[in-house]
């Protein structure tokens, strides 16, 4: 397992919103399925702008790939990215409030949290 510090750093680098996380997890849930943007808009009840923007960010992060037919699937560019996505998914499953706080925290607060993990080596508590 990579640990909270690595998941926190991954969020800071690649996950800008809970919508982005939910989109990533939707694609990850069925990596063989190729989703069109329209299907994702309908499934997630989101706007095209929201889906398109997050798809672009996930592609830039090396987590999602488009195909020639204009659909998208989860396909991490490296095993380390896949492992971080697995850790993020598990952390979100067991501590959703913590993950949402990490996503919504300002960058300075995230750096403070990352530094705290570096010094203590572990989290100081779970969701409450």
pLDDT in tens, 34-65: 999 999 999 999 999 999 999 999 999 999 99
Tell me which residue of 69, 34, 74 sits closest to 54, measured CA to CA. 74
The pLDDT of residue 98:
94
Domain parsing of the chain, residue ranges: 4-120
In this predicted model, what pLDDT tens digit does every residue of 68-78 receive, in sequence order?
888 999 999 99
What's this model's pTM, rounded to 2 decimal places?
0.80
From CA 85, how far away is CA 28, in angstroms rounded?
9
pLDDT at residue 83 tops 80 = yes
How many Cα atoms occupy the beta-carbon half-sphere of 46 within 13 Å? 21
The highest-level CATH class for domain 4-120 is mainly alpha
The rounded percent of the chain whose pLDDT value lies above 90 is: 74
């Amino acid at each position: 397992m990579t640990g909270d510090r690595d998941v926190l750093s991954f969020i800071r680098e690649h996950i800008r919103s809970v919508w982005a996380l939910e989109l990533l997890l939707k694609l990850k849930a069925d990596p063989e399925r190729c989703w069109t943007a329209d299907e994702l808009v309908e499934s997630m009840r989101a706007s095209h702008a929201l889906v398109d923007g997050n798809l672009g960010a996930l592609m830039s992060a090396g987590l999602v790939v488009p195909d020639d037919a204009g659909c998208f699937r989860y396909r991490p560019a490296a095993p380390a990215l896949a492992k971080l996505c697995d850790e993020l998914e598990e952390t979100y499953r067991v501590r959703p409030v913590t993950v949402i706080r990490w996503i919504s925290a300002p960058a300075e607060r995230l750096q403070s949290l990352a530094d705290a993990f570096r010094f203590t080596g572990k989290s100081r508590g779970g969701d409450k």
